[in-house]
């Protein structure tokens, strides 16, 4: 016996989300059916708004409603430091820490031969252009995750940036190997920032 078509479509939609298998998708679909129509409408509007109203900042690649983003517009931030992260959610992790007040650059992924992700697929060309145009940037902090792909991406970027006589540092491994920045607590991130090393 199959579920009615609207439920099947809802299950399929939830299964498109990362980490959601058939069981979780089915549970979410039935939860959604039991929700008040007003709540479902708000949920649908939030999804549509996120898709329509958000885009990536042309300077740093962070997710934003404005152009440029709020961080890139803020002239009170330290213009000498720039952290390179994998995803926009990593920017929020550093901002919550409230210890870093410099600039950001979001790669939107990492180098991964197994997934077919090459330097051309990442936000690297705009990073190099930004470093050329903004001579006030004197330190680039590579804050990719402590995974094999994250390490490989950091090494690749380090080799590209060092000839420009810009100091390149890597977060200290207060972050556990294999962990994601977005799940690290503020203290771990603060220690990793303080213990960063030149590459």
CATH code assigned at 45: 1.10.8.420
CB 135 within 8 A of CB 82: no
Task: Kindly tell me if the per-residue pLDDT of 94 is higher than 80.
Answer: yes
> What's the first-to-final CA gap in the chain, in angstroms?
60
Q: Which residues of 62-90 are buried (b: 16+ CB within 10 A; e: fewer)?
A: bbbeeeebebbeeeeeeeebbbbbbbbeb
Shared domain for 63 and 150, answered yes or no, is: yes
148 vs 159 pLDDT, higher one: 159
Over residues 167-188, the mean pLDDT reads: 77
Domains held by the chain: number:
2
**C-beta pairs of 25-33 under 8 Å, 24+ apart in sequence:** 33/7
Domain that holds residue 11: 5-53
Shared domain for 142 and 118, answered yes or no, is: yes
| Per-residue pLDDT tens digits for 8-40 | 999 999 999 999 999 999 999 999 999 999 999
**Phi, psi for residue 149 in degrees, rounded to 5:** -70, -40
Shared domain for 76 and 27, answered yes or no, is: no
pLDDT score at 9: 95
Shared domain for 116 and 94, answered yes or no, is: yes
CB 86 within 8 A of CB 106: yes
Closest to 106 (Cα-Cα) out of 155, 55, 178: 55
Say what angle helices 22-34 and 5-15 make with each other, to 10 degrees.
120
Residue 137: exposure state from Cβ atoms within 10 A (0-12, 13-18, ≥19): buried
| Per-residue pLDDT tens digits for 96-142 | 988 899 999 999 999 998 899 999 999 999 999 999 998 899 999 99
pLDDT score at 182: 81
Shared domain for 104 and 35, answered yes or no, is: no
Mean pLDDT of the chain: 91
pLDDT classification of 75: cutoffs 50, 70, 90 = very high
Output the six-digit token pair for 73: 């517009």
**Phi, psi for residue 98 in degrees, rounded to 5:** 60, 30
- What whole-number distance in Å separates Cα of residue 108 and Cα of residue 87? 5
pLDDT score at 183: 79
Q: What is the CATH number of the domain that holds 168?
A: 3.40.1360.10
- What whole-number distance in Å separates Cα of residue 177 and Cα of residue 145? 8
Over residues 79-92, the mean pLDDT reads: 96
pLDDT classification of 188: cutoffs 50, 70, 90 = confident
pLDDT classification of 178: cutoffs 50, 70, 90 = confident
pLDDT score at 198: 75
pLDDT classification of 60: cutoffs 50, 70, 90 = very high
Shared domain for 80 and 167, answered yes or no, is: yes
Task: Kindly tell me if the per-residue pLDDT of 195 is higher than 80.
Answer: no
CB 141 within 8 A of CB 84: yes
Shared domain for 92 and 62, answered yes or no, is: yes
């Amino acid at each position: 016996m199959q579920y009615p078509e609207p439920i099947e479509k809802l299950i399929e939609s939830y299964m498109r989300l990362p980490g959601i298998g058939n069981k979780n998708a089915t549970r979410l679909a039935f939860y959604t059916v039991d929700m008040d129509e007003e709540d479902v409408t708000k949920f649908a509007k939030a999804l549509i708004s996120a898709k329509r109203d958000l885009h990536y900042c042309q300077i740093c690649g962070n997710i934003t409603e404005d152009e440029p983003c709020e961080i890139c517009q803020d002239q009170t931030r330290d213009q000498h430091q720039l952290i390179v992260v994998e995803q926009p959610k990593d920017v929020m992790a550093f901002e919550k820490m409230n210890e870093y007040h410099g600039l950001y650059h979001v790669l939107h992924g990492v180098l991964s031969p197994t997934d077919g992700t090459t330097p051309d697929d990442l936000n690297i060309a705009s990073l190099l252009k930004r470093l050329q145009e903004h001579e006030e940037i004197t330190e680039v902090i590579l804050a990719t995750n402590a995974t094999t792909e994250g390490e490989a991406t950091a090494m690749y970027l380090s080799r590209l940036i060092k000839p420009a006589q810009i100091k390149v540092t890597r977060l200290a491994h207060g972050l556990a190997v294999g962990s994601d920045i977005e799940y690290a607590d503020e203290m771990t991130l603060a220690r990793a920032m303080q213990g960063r090393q030149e590459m």
